[in-house]
Amino acid sequence: MRLNLNVNGRAMTADDVWEGESLLYVLRERLGLPGSKNACEQGECGSCTVYLDRVPVCACLVAAGQAQDREVGTVEGLADEEELAPVQRAFVDEGAVQCGFCTPGLLVAADDLINRVPEPSDAEIREALAGNLCRCTGYEKIMAAVRTAAERNAGTGISGSTGGDRE
Amino acid sequence: MDFLRPACWSEALEAKANHPDATPVAGGTDVMVELNFDHRRPETLLDLTRIEQLREWSRTERAGVASVRIGAGVPYSRLIDELGTSLPGLAMAARTVGSPQIRNRGTLGGNLASASPAGDGHPPLLASNAEIELESVRGSRTIPIEEFFTGVKRSAMASDELVAAVHVPVSTGPQQFSKIGTRNAMVIAVCTFAVALWPERSGVGTGLGSAAPTPRSAPEAEEFLAAALTEADQWDDPRPLPDSITERFGELVAQAAAPIDDVRGTAGYRTHALHVLARRTLSWAWDEYRGGTEFSGRQRCA
Ligand SMILES: Cc1cc2nc3c(=O)[nH]c(=O)nc-3n(C[C@H](O)[C@H](O)[C@H](O)COP(=O)(O)OP(=O)(O)OC[C@H]3O[C@@H](n4cnc5c(N)ncnc54)[C@H](O)[C@@H]3O)c2cc1C
Ligand code: FES
Ligand code: FES
C-alpha cells in the first residue's frame, strides 16, 4: 500500500508498504530516517521512541497504516537547521552518550518531558524515562543531562503546559 | 494482508461483520508485538484509531448509579490524567502499565479484548462491577465484567463484535490497587489485587489478576468484609479494623485464587502474595476511609 504522512514537518510518501509492518520499519527502511533505533521490536526498550501526533510512542508498535495522514516527529527533527535542541545539547555537555544506541529514543522522551513539565523532579524524570533502556551509562549522566536541559529550557521561558487533572 | 481503516464506528462494525477474522488494532501494544515476531499473520487488520467516538468518555447513569462510560480507545495516559478522581482504582492500575510510551498508546478496549489473566485493567473493573458494552451490526449488548472473561485469553465477544465501551460506577469510597513485579515499570504482574469500598451501599468490591485462568473477584471475601463492617457499625463510625478481620479477608482472597507456577512466580508464592496484598490494600483503603474524607452517599457523624 501507499502511505502518506508528515515527518518532521515534511509531507512524505512511502510506496509498497506491507500492511503488517511497523512505523519504525517505514521510517528506517523506506524513508531514509535511521535515527530511531530498532532493538527489541516489542515496546520494551524505547530506542524507537518517536512523536506521533505530538505524543511519544514506540514506533515499533504502530502499524504503518495507522500513521497515514498523521504527524510523526523523530530524533532527526529535534534540532533546527543551526542548533541542537536543548536535550541534545545537554546530552553532549553532560557526556550522557556512550554507544548511543538508546540516545535517539531517550532524546524524544526527554524532549517531551521538559516541554510538558517545566521543573521536573528526579522522580518525574525517572518516571518519564522508565520506558527507555540504556545498557552503557548507568543512567546517572542521563539524569544529569535531563536536569540540565530542563533548567536551560525553563530559562528560555518557552516551556509547555503541565497538564494535570483535567476532569 | 488487507488494512482496513474505517472512519467511523458504523463502518468499523460493517467491516468486522464482513471480515470476522479481521484483527482489530487499537494501540497495537499487543497486536504489533505478535506481528513483529511472526506469532500472528492475520489476513486483515482493522485499524480502530480513526474512530473519534472510541476515544471519548462521558458521565452517565446506569440503573440510578453515577457512572463513566469509557470508549474502548481511550489510552491509559488519559485515564490517569482525566479520570483519576472519579475512578481512582482504575487510574492506579493504569499508572502501573508498561511505560509512558505504552500508556500513551495502550487502551482499555485492547486490554479487555486480549483478556490476559495478567491484564492490569481488569482487577479494578471487577472491584467496581463494571459492565462491558459490545456491539456488532446485529446490535449492542452490555454484560457484567464477570461474564466477559471465559478462559485464558478468551472472552464472551463474538467474532463479529467489537468492544465499544466500558461502564464503570463512579467511586463513592476509597479504592486501592497493588501489583507485584520485579520493578516498577515494564512488568507483567506476578499477581495483582484491587479493592473498592462502596459506603453508600455498604458494599465491598475485589479483583484478582494473574491469579487464575481468568481475572476474577473474591465474592466470599467481599461478603465477609461487608457483613463484618456492617455488624460492627463501622461504616458510620469507622474505627481501626481488628487484625482478625484483615487477616480473614486476606485468607478469603487467597482462597479465591487458582494460580499456576510459571516463569514469573510459583502458585504458592502467588497465594501468599495475594493474602498480603489483600490485607495491605484493605488497611490503606480503611485508613483513607477513617481519614474522614466525605465520601458521597453516606453522611458520617464526626
Ligand atoms: C512493553 C509492554 C508493556 C506492557 N505492560 C503491560 C502492563 O503492565 N499491564 C498490562 O495489563 N498490559 C501491558 N501490556 C500489554 C498491552 O499494552 C495492554 O494489554 C493494552 O491494554 C493493549 O491495548 P492496545 O490498545 O494496545 O491493544 P491492541 O494491541 O491494539 O489490541 C489488543 C487485542 O485487542 C483487540 N482489540 C483492540 N481493541 C478492540 C476493540 N475495541 N474491540 C475488539 N477487539 C479489540 C485486538 O484485536 C487484539 O486482539 C504491555 C505491552 C507492552 C508491549
Ligand atoms: S524497538 Fe521499539 S521499544 Fe524496542
Ligand atoms: S549509551 Fe549505549 S545503550 Fe545507552
Please report, for chain B, the start and end positions of each structural domain, with discontinuous segments joined by +: 2-40+55-169, 175-290
B82 — contact with chain A (CB < 8 Å)? yes
CB contact under 8 A, B100 and A1: no
pLDDT at residue B105 greater than cutoff 80? yes
* Residue closest by Cα to atom 4 of ligand 3: A134
Q: Is B198 helix (H, G, I), strand (E, B) or coil?
A: strand
pLDDT at residue B202 greater than cutoff 80? yes
pLDDT score recorded for residue A167: 39
Residue range A30-41: mean pLDDT, rounded: 97
* Calpha distance B251→B285 (Å, rounded): 18
Question: pLDDT grade, residue B292 (50/70/90)?
Answer: confident
pLDDT at residue B99 greater than cutoff 90? yes
Q: Quick one: closest CA in B to A125, which residue?
A: B100
pLDDT at residue B163 greater than cutoff 70? yes
pLDDT score recorded for residue B299: 56
* Calpha distance B24→B148 (Å, rounded): 18
* Calpha distance A42→B38 (Å, rounded): 12
DSSP lists the bridge partners of residue B164 as: none
B87 — contact with chain A (CB < 8 Å)? no
Query: In sequence order, which residues have a C-beta less than 8 Å from that of residue B85 and are 6 or more positions away?
Result: A165, A167
Ligand nearest, relative to CA of residue A37: 2
| Ligand 3 midpoint to CA B298 (Å) | 55
B175-290: CATH architecture: 2-Layer Sandwich (3.30)
Q: Which region among A66-80, B155-169, B257-271 has the lowest average model confidence (pLDDT)?
A: B257-271
B200 — contact with chain A (CB < 8 Å)? no
pLDDT score recorded for residue A164: 34
Number of H helices, E strands in chain B: 11, 13
CATH code of B2-40+55-169, in short, is 3.30.465.10
* Calpha distance B95→B132 (Å, rounded): 21
* Residue closest by Cα to atom 2 of ligand 3: A99
Cβ atoms of B103 and B77 within 8 Å: the answer is yes
pLDDT at residue B297 greater than cutoff 60? no
- Residues of B with CB below 8 A from A164's CB? 81
Lateral strand order in the sheet of B191-198: B175-180, B191-198, B203-209
Domains defined along chain A, listed by start: 3-77 (3.10.20.30), 86-153 (1.10.150.120)
pLDDT at residue A165 greater than cutoff 50? no
B2 phi and psi, to 5 degrees?
Answer: -100, 150
Ligand nearest, relative to CA of residue A100: 3
Residue range B242-260: mean pLDDT, rounded: 96
Identify residue B77 by its one-letter amino acid code: S
Cβ atoms of A76 and A114 within 8 Å: the answer is no
Cell numbers placing B10: 458504523
Query: In sequence order, which residues have a C-beta less than 8 Å from that of residue B54 and are 6 or more positions away?
Result: B9, B26, B48, B71, B72, B73, B74, B109, B164, B165
Lateral strand order in the sheet of B139-144: B57-62, B65-71, B162-169, B131-136, B139-144
Cell numbers placing B160: 463479529
Q: How far is A87 from chain B (nearest CA, A)?
A: 18
- The residue among B92 and A163 whose pLDDT is bigger is B92
The pLDDT tens digits for A99-141 are 999 999 999 999 999 999 999 999 999 999 999 999 999 999 9
For cell 545498557, name the residue: A135
Residues with CB under 6 A from ligand 2: A 38-41, 43-48, 58, 60
Question: pLDDT grade, residue B214 (50/70/90)?
Answer: very high
Residue range A48-63: mean pLDDT, rounded: 98
Count of residues in chain A: 167
Q: Which region among A66-70, A150-154, B109-113, B144-148 has the lowest average model confidence (pLDDT)?
A: A150-154
Q: Is A154 helix (H, G, I), strand (E, B) or coil?
A: helix
Q: Tell me which DSSP letter residue B241 carries.
A: P
CA angle B20, B24, B25 (to 5 degrees): 165
Q: Return the closest-CA partner of residue B133 out of B145, B122, B124.
A: B145
pLDDT score recorded for residue B201: 95
B59 — contact with chain A (CB < 8 Å)? no
Question: pLDDT grade, residue B295 (50/70/90)?
Answer: low
- Residues of A with CB below 8 A from B87's CB? none
> Is B17 buried (19+), middle (13-18) or exposed (0-12) by CB count in 10 A?
middle
Give the mutation candidate from B1, B35, B36 for the A interface (greatest A CB count, under 10 A): B36
pLDDT score recorded for residue A54: 97
- Residues of B with CB below 8 A from A42's CB? 33, 36-37
Q: Which of A19, A43, A165 sits opposite B45 (nearest CB)?
A: A19
- Residues of B with CB below 8 A from A63's CB? 3, 25, 28, 31-32, 35, 45, 47
pLDDT at residue A160 greater than cutoff 50? no
Residue range B75-100: mean pLDDT, rounded: 98
pLDDT score recorded for residue A154: 85
The pLDDT tens digits for B8-58 are 999 999 999 999 999 999 999 999 999 999 999 999 999 999 999 999 999
User: How does the average pLDDT of chain B come out, rounded?
Assistant: 95
Identify residue A11 by its one-letter amino acid code: A
Q: Strands B203-209 and B191-198: what pairing?
A: antiparallel
Say how many C-beta atoms besides its own lie within 10 A of residue A135's C-beta.
11
* Calpha distance A109→A96 (Å, rounded): 14
